Chains A and B, each alone.
Chain A
Amino acid sequence: MPRLARRTQAPAPPPAAWGALCLLVGALLCGALPQGLLQGGVARAQEADGDAGVEPAVVSIEVTQQNADWYSPWQGSRPEISVGSGFLIGPGRIMTNAHVVSDARQIIVRRNGDNQPFFAEVEFIAHDGDLATLHVDDPDFAKGVAPLKLGGLPSLRSRVRTYGFPAGGEKISRTEGVVSRVQFITYLHPGADSHLAVQTDSAINPGNSGGPVVQEGKVIGVAFQTNTRLNDVGFFIPAPVIERFLGDIADGRYDGYGDLGVVTSNLINPTYRRYLGLQGNRLGVVVDKVMPNSSADGLIRRDDVITAIDDVPVLADSTIDYYRYSLSYQQVVEQKQVGEMVKVTLWRDGKSRDIRFPLRRYPEADRMRNQFDERAPYFIYAGLVFMALDREYLQTFGNYWENADKHLLYEHFYAFMESDEPFAGAVVIGRILPHRLNSPYAAMVNSQVQSLNGVPIHTLRDLEVGLRASRDGYDRFELQPGDVVLVLDKAEAGRAQPEILKAYGIAKDRYLP
């Protein structure tokens, strides 16, 4: 099982996200390292491999985190303390993983071998790319320490060293290994994004997250996750991804990744290539779908063949040659910033043509990700807790949340792919707080709200507006699955509302950001 390399000191709370399970596994693995284990001969070794000056710039990060509670969205979950690593990239500026400092309530950083705590604040955080920068105001924190510099993408089989504070501890740890693979993998923190990553056998353990991976004294990556199904395998976020993040925040704002918004298939089948009139056997992927409201909407069509992006040839197996590595063609798009122009070379109607358009985010994909640093939106009416259908809601079903109600999975994962319309959102009854008004409706929990009084419901705002609009009489909800009806007397529901909120200790009946 893949897991993040953050170390958790307090037991993870019971909820169901697999991420919490990963943290539990991490907690099991961690144990205090013997003091001084790594001290002998360290300086000489670092001089020999060019890493002199690295260790002073590596910091431990102790974070008090409080995740949103998606089952009881009106309250926060139990705070927990976790430990990760980071490194100085500028005066008082630290780079680490987003998952180390997500949902942080307090961040304390310490330098290697120094117990002096310094308070830090999140400066920028990129949950989709699992990177963050912190800032420490206290000038004493980084006094006399040179920030680390970024290197490039390492060669296969070249040696790398990982620095950090695995299993916590005051003293830094350094492990060494080789680069064994460079590829796109799913970043576990967002859960739904794949980016470039480097696989190494340099040990990466809970607590290493956010620490630098170094080659010849330069940072070539940020350690971030492992895979427990594989032995001695860790992953780090390589320099090109870090550079893109730093480029993104250079204007003082994090915009995130842009997306073409196309679904493509490989074109290695010779017959398919002949059918499309393609010359040669090497180039091009065929467009199966263009997502509505995406960057390419209205510009790229189904059955177009993408042969190059920004003049980088796209090979028929959906890859590009990238610094001697065969990588997904998405890498070309990934390197660009939102708002930058992208040039796509297409094969359409037997001719090659170039089109240029600005790269945009595809915000509809946000609901596919784990959410952090946000409270869960909700709306309570007559004890029915309405929530948005998103990944976090589905994860309240437990570790095997993919086994949640099939209708909801369809709405979340498939419906938008099968539709030509943009995904407008979906609202579910996430929980029912039992009350005499709603007790016969208990079986309707986890139903999707199709409409309220005949008006389609896609968002919690739709619901709020719809309930406000119906001033008296009955509120009639049409639900799926099962095509069932739920009716509430508005006056009686209104009278019961304070009683229900009081009984369940809920201060506010809604949070709609």
Chain B
Amino acid sequence: MKPLVPMLCALLLAALPSQPAWGQEGPVAAGVVSVAVTSQAYDELLPWNKAAEQTAHGNAVVAAGRALITTADLVKNATLIEVRKFGRYPDYPARAVRVDYDLNLALLTVDDPAFWEGLRELPLAKRPIHSGRFTINRWRSNGRFEQGTGEVADFLVSNSPYGLIEYPVLRGSTTMGGLGWSEVLSHESEVIGLITGHNNQQIQATNSDLLRLFVAASAHPGQGDFAHRGFAWQRLNQQHLRASLGLQGSASGVLVRKVFPGGTGSTELRPMDILHRINGYAIDPEGRIEHPSYGLLLFTMAINESLAPTIAMEVQRDGKRLHLELKRRRFAVEDYRIPPPHFDRPNDFEVFGGLVLQELSVGYLQAWGSDWRDKAPARMVIEYGMHSLRDVDGAPERVVIISRVLPDPSNLGYGEVNNAIVLKANGRPLRSLADFREAIRHPQEGYDIIELLPGSGRGRLVYQHAQLDAINARVRARYSIPERAAGS
């Protein structure tokens, strides 16, 4: 017997009017689509494994060029992305054209032309709104279009949980529940933002300026990209501090304390430079600029105000004012010592004598949960806090860790070294897992010797080199570890 319920559902759906229903649901509904994403995360702690798949429902804005804008968070580690318009069958397969975790934004497209019929490109607001109410728009997984209201609180310069690029984030309040899935904020039928997070009745949203730049950068790759700040700075809001720097009578200026290779300003700025203006905006002693659209905000937002190839900076150095053009730069992977989380690909690892070796990353630390700064192994959190970017004169390096010891006769007595930082293997300093792989090709008098950071539970681990092939095969077999990570 054929099941009746699906047949009845199919008949009912067929009986529905073929015209889009946005006449009832308002014009915004035709510019918002629901996105269903099946994702499968990589296991940070057992890097050869993938976690169970999960399906999440979110939203996307219909943009120019048959593009859909949503959050990167929604589509991370996606194995299947399907979109639905007007909350009704059918679902269309979608693919990610560009995913930028630094911005927590993703651009999707759908190849089937039928999908785009009846949809409406939603205009992105040209100016942020600073106060008043906005509408929250979303499609639910049950096919209902919901709208709620909220109120703008302010803008704050912040960054995505997955990266370091700074941009203005809209903060607001609402009584609408169940948020956090890329809901679309609109005001007078224009998109003003995309919700990226919520906490109780507070929401954070990426604002329309960033969405517009993101679409532009995606449409014209190579013609400008977002940039990282490549320097650390300090406020100069104390009178004695200002006077000691000769800033009496000046109402602007913050102090450069460090530069980081690979970021914007890393080659043009120097420690102890005083930054007075950025893109023509005066930087006040607390590091804020009076922006025509956003009002008073941290000056670092101006770095990504546009995607122009350079950023104009007025700097005081050794008592002289200089006009510098800072080249827009984005950190490359080698500029991170402890890189931000990455998705969509497995983590590198090595299993050696029952030791699981990895490179320390923010993703690994985040495996301890949203409060990882308190819960993750303290020494590793400290390492991240003190030294997450490459030194200005240093070669690229990563922090090699032993994330776990899989008990085996070969590592008897080594069980206490979980979450230990590895300094050397066979006398060679380690700057990467690749270094480790090279080092273990050079045993010392028949032994492989791994040296750990003092305080790691023990100082050294010793293995007999000739036995390691057999040991590694045994460990992999016992713990079901493939030669390569799942999905690699």
Residues of A within 8 A of B (CB): 263, 265-272, 274-275, 286, 288-289, 302, 400, 402-403, 406-407, 409-410, 413-414, 417-418, 437-438, 440-441, 474, 476, 481-489, 492-493
Stretch binding the partner chain, chosen from B68-76, B133-141, B289-297, B378-386:
B378-386
- Are the CB atoms of A418 and B454 closer together than 8 Å? yes
Residues of the B chain whose Cβ atoms lie less than 8 Å from the Cβ of A289: 454, 459
Known: A406-B382, A409-B378. A271 touches B241 (CB 8 A): no
Q: Is B412 an interface residue (CB 8 A)?
A: yes
Query: Nearest Cβ distance between residue A348 and chain B, in whole angstroms?
Result: 16
Known: A271-B410, A441-B238, A483-B257. A288 touches B460 (CB 8 A): yes
- Are the CB atoms of A487 and B244 closer together than 8 Å? yes
Residues of the B chain whose Cβ atoms lie less than 8 Å from the Cβ of A474: 240, 243-244
Q: Is B331 an interface residue (CB 8 A)?
A: no
- Are the CB atoms of B240 and A417 closer together than 8 Å? no
Stretch binding the partner chain, chosen from B159-167, B173-181, B229-237:
B229-237
Query: Nearest Cβ distance between residue A407 and chain B, in whole angstroms?
Result: 7
Q: Is B149 an interface residue (CB 8 A)?
A: no
Q: Is B281 an interface residue (CB 8 A)?
A: no
Query: Nearest Cβ distance between residue B147 and chain A, in whole angstroms?
Result: 41
Q: Is B368 an interface residue (CB 8 A)?
A: no
Query: Nearest Cβ distance between residue B97 and chain A, in whole angstroms?
Result: 39
- Give the number of residue pairs across the A-B interface with Cβ within 8 Å: 107
- Are the CB atoms of A481 and B234 closer together than 8 Å? no
The CA-CA distance from A441 to B255 in the complex, in Å, is 14
The CA-CA distance from A310 to B302 in the complex, in Å, is 70
Known: A272-B462, A409-B382, A418-B454. A267 touches B240 (CB 8 A): no
- Are the CB atoms of A492 and B374 closer together than 8 Å? no
- Interface centre among B238, B240, B454, B461, by most chain A C-beta atoms within 10 angstroms, is B240
Residues of the A chain whose Cβ atoms lie less than 8 Å from the Cβ of B449: 275
Q: Which of B255, B379, B386, B413 contacts A268 (CB 8 A)?
A: B413
Query: Nearest Cβ distance between residue A392 and chain B, in whole angstroms?
Result: 19
- Are the CB atoms of A288 and B458 closer together than 8 Å? yes
- Are the CB atoms of A271 and B385 closer together than 8 Å? no
- Are the CB atoms of A406 and B241 closer together than 8 Å? no
- Are the CB atoms of B413 and A272 closer together than 8 Å? yes
1/0 per position for B237-275, CB-CB distance to A under 8 A? 111110110000000000101100000000000000000
Known: A269-B411, A271-B447, A406-B378. A302 touches B459 (CB 8 A): yes
Q: Is B17 an interface residue (CB 8 A)?
A: no
Known: A263-B454, A483-B257. A268 touches B243 (CB 8 A): no
Q: Which of A269, A274, A410, A489 contacts B414 (CB 8 A)?
A: A269
- Are the CB atoms of B240 and A487 closer together than 8 Å? yes
The CA-CA distance from A476 to B234 in the complex, in Å, is 14
Q: Which of B240, B373, B453 contacts A488 (CB 8 A)?
A: B240
Contacts A/B (CB < 8 Å), 10 sampled: A265-B460, A266-B458, A269-B411, A272-B413, A286-B460, A288-B459, A406-B385, A409-B382, A484-B234, A485-B241
The CA-CA distance from A388 to B239 in the complex, in Å, is 28
Q: Which of B257, B413, B457, B458 contacts A484 (CB 8 A)?
A: B257
Query: Nearest Cβ distance between residue B351 and chain A, in whole angstroms?
Result: 17
- Are the CB atoms of B462 and A492 closer together than 8 Å? no
Residues of the A chain whose Cβ atoms lie less than 8 Å from the Cβ of B463: 271
- Are the CB atoms of A271 and B462 closer together than 8 Å? yes
- Interface centre among B373, B382, B385, by most chain A C-beta atoms within 10 angstroms, is B382
- Are the CB atoms of B455 and A418 closer together than 8 Å? yes
- Are the CB atoms of A402 and B241 closer together than 8 Å? no
The CA-CA distance from A265 to B235 in the complex, in Å, is 47
- Are the CB atoms of B462 and A481 closer together than 8 Å? no
The CA-CA distance from A191 to B378 in the complex, in Å, is 19
Residues of the B chain whose Cβ atoms lie less than 8 Å from the Cβ of A286: 459-460
- Are the CB atoms of B458 and A414 closer together than 8 Å? no
Q: Is B366 an interface residue (CB 8 A)?
A: no
- Are the CB atoms of B386 and A410 closer together than 8 Å? yes
Q: Is B158 an interface residue (CB 8 A)?
A: no
Query: Nearest Cβ distance between residue B407 and chain A, in whole angstroms?
Result: 12
The CA-CA distance from A274 to B235 in the complex, in Å, is 58
Query: Nearest Cβ distance between residue B338 and chain A, in whole angstroms?
Result: 13
Q: Is B472 an interface residue (CB 8 A)?
A: no
Residues of the B chain whose Cβ atoms lie less than 8 Å from the Cβ of A485: 234, 241, 255, 257
Known: A406-B385, A407-B386. A440 touches B414 (CB 8 A): no
Residues of the A chain whose Cβ atoms lie less than 8 Å from the Cβ of B453: 418
Query: Nearest Cβ distance between residue B137 and chain A, in whole angstroms?
Result: 39
Q: Which of A268, A413, A483 contacts B232 (CB 8 A)?
A: A483
Find the B residue at minimum CB distance from A419.
B454
Q: Is B432 an interface residue (CB 8 A)?
A: no
1/0 per position for B398-414, CB-CB distance to A under 8 A? 00000000000011111
- Are the CB atoms of B459 and A492 closer together than 8 Å? no
The CA-CA distance from A437 to B240 in the complex, in Å, is 8
The CA-CA distance from A476 to B240 in the complex, in Å, is 10
Residues of the B chain whose Cβ atoms lie less than 8 Å from the Cβ of A267: 413
Residues of the A chain whose Cβ atoms lie less than 8 Å from the Cβ of B373: 406
Residues of the B chain whose Cβ atoms lie less than 8 Å from the Cβ of A489: 239-240, 243-244
Q: Is B306 an interface residue (CB 8 A)?
A: no
Query: Nearest Cβ distance between residue A471 and chain B, in whole angstroms?
Result: 16
Query: Nearest Cβ distance between residue B354 and chain A, in whole angstroms?
Result: 11
Q: Is B202 an interface residue (CB 8 A)?
A: no
- Interface centre among B241, B378, B457, by most chain A C-beta atoms within 10 angstroms, is B241
- Are the CB atoms of B240 and A492 closer together than 8 Å? yes
